Amino acid sequence: MLKILGLGVCLLLSAASFGQSLGIGDKAPPIQVSAWVKGDPIQEFAPGKVYVFEFFATWARPCVEVIPQISELTKKFADKASFTGISVFERRPEDYATVVPAFVKTQGDKIAFNIATDAEGKMGENWMAAAEQDSIPTIFVINQEGVVAWIGHPSRLEPILEKVIAKTWDVAKAKASADDAAAVARKARKAQERKEQIFAEVARALEKKDFKQAALEFEKVLKVHPGDTVGLEPSYIEWLLRSDETKAFTVAESYLKGSLKNNSTALNTISWSMVSGEIPLKKPNYKIAEKIAEAAVKLTNRKNPEILDTYGYALYRVGKIKEAIAIETLAIKILEATPGAEENMKLEFQERLAMFKKGKK
């Protein structure tokens, strides 16, 4: 299924602004297409008949790939349901009158169902946007009473359509399930919007190399929507290391005991930012870096060469040279036994081991 981020989003906003909504269990909106390219025009829903509408675009590969399936179902349920493809979200306005007819002609008998275009955008707005659908292909099934019985991807259509035709499909149950899914999706969208806002503010700060402000923007969201900051902890520590070292080590140690205690990747990234020398530090607390790296090693059962490499560097930083050499040697051994391991990484590990053996920091 292909997400439509341009026109689709505009339509969603348009539908929302007018308070339009469409869901399972609602009466189907009118059929307001711009032109019929193939098949017999449908002006209205006939009582007792089932209708299937597939919203598609000629340029979208997922839509083209489901043509055989829709055609097969069209033939299978020829006397029980009407199938129509509605062309929406074409790249240019003129494509509805040129590209779509040419596409249908090229497909020939592969398309066994009706095809109509939505050049004016009424179907896209009153159906797709009103139902908060921003992906194609999307199917709408209208039952014998002219009610939206189901909305979803073509891959799930056949067994549902059979029940709709047999009048055994539970519209109320489907509505409840769809409403729950929609609520989850709306929550996810809002969270994503907030995350994008975080990134926007942080990005502005980082463009100016204002790491203190970047950390502050992170902290603002952390107070109100902590869940939206998950995954950004290593970056937050990096910004703090560049602006407030003491706080960086304090927060990092709290992660070790709290939210990141089982996240070896994040712990490794944080420790590496402390020991690698890539960030100039005035008063580094390498003991905390060592503790974090050791925790990551334990979580991976001493089997991840990159995490072992970080731990070796941390041990080296605190002056435990023999232990650092032993751990780095183990990291190299595991790395060399790993299929497809990068030669550059092997060389880097070997150079680090040589540095450890010289005992120079």
Per the CB < 8 A criterion, the answer to whether 334 and 305 are in contact is yes
Pair 296, 307: CB distance under 8 Å:
yes
- Cα 17 to the center of its chain, rounded Å: 26
pTM for this predicted structure: 0.57
Look at strands 114-117 and 50-56 and give their pairing: unpaired
In angstroms, how far is the first alpha carbon of the chain from the final one? 53
In this predicted structure, what is the pLDDT of residue 202?
A: 84
The whole-number pLDDT of residue 361 equals 52
SS3 string of the chain?
A: CEECCCHHHHHHHHHHHCCCCCCCCCECCCCCCCEEEECCCCCCCCCCCEEEEEEECCCCHHHHHCHHHHHHHHHHCCCCEEEEEEECCCCCHHHHCCHHHHHHHHHHHHCCCEEEECCCCHHHHHHHHCCCCCEECEEEEECCCCEEEEEECHHHHHHHHHHHHCCCCCHHHHHHHHHHHHHHHHHHHHHHHHHHHHHHHHHHHHHCCCHHHHHHHHHHHHHHCHHHHCCCHHHHHHHHHCCCHHHHHHHHHHHHHCCCCCCHHHHHHHHHHHHCCCCCCCCCCHHHHHHHHHHHHHHCCCCCHHHHHHHHHHHHHCCCHHHHHHHHHHHHHHHHCCCCCCHHHHHHHHHHHHHHHHCCC
Q: Note the pLDDT of residue 347.
A: 94
Closest among 116, 115, 100, 111 to 72, alpha carbons compared: 111
Q: Which residue is associated with the tokens 């927060």?
A: 251
For residue 243, give every residue at least 6 positions away whose Cβ sits within 8 Å of its Cβ, in sequence order, or none.
211, 212, 215
Selecting from 3.40.50.300, 3.40.50.1820, 2.60.120.10, 3.40.30.10, what CATH number does the domain 2-172 have?
Answer: 3.40.30.10
CA 8 to mean position of chain CA atoms: 17
User: How high is the pLDDT of residue 360?
Assistant: 57
pLDDT at 294: 97
Residue range(s) occupied by CATH 1.25.40.10 in the chain: 231-358
pLDDT in tens, 62-89: 999 999 999 999 999 999 999 999 999 9
Q: Which of 244, 179, 165 is nearest to 25 (CA)?
A: 179
Tens-digit pLDDT string for the chain (361 aa):
555 544 433 344 344 444 479 999 999 999 999 999 999 999 999 999 999 999 999 999 999 999 999 999 999 999 999 999 999 999 999 999 999 999 999 999 999 999 999 999 999 999 999 998 989 999 999 999 999 999 999 999 999 999 999 999 999 999 999 889 888 888 888 877 877 777 788 889 999 999 999 999 888 878 877 777 778 899 999 999 999 999 999 999 999 888 899 999 999 999 999 999 999 999 999 999 999 999 999 999 999 999 999 999 999 999 999 999 999 999 999 999 988 888 999 999 999 999 999 975 5
User: Using CA atoms, how far apart are residues 249 and 81, in angstroms rounded to an integer?
Assistant: 66
CB atoms near residue 221 (< 10 Å) = 19
Q: What is the spatial distance between Cα 344 and Cα 13, in angstroms, rounded to a whole number?
A: 49
User: CATH assignment of 231-358, given 1.25.40.10, 1.10.20.140, 1.10.260.40, 3.30.70.260?
Assistant: 1.25.40.10
CB-neighbour burial class of residue 127 (10 A; exposed 0-12, middle 13-18, buried 19+): buried
Mean pLDDT for the chain overall: 91
Structure tokens given for 346: 């092997």
Distance from C-alpha of 12 to C-alpha of 134, rounded to nearest angstrom: 8
Here the tokens at position 206 are 């980082």
pLDDT the model gives residue 17: 40
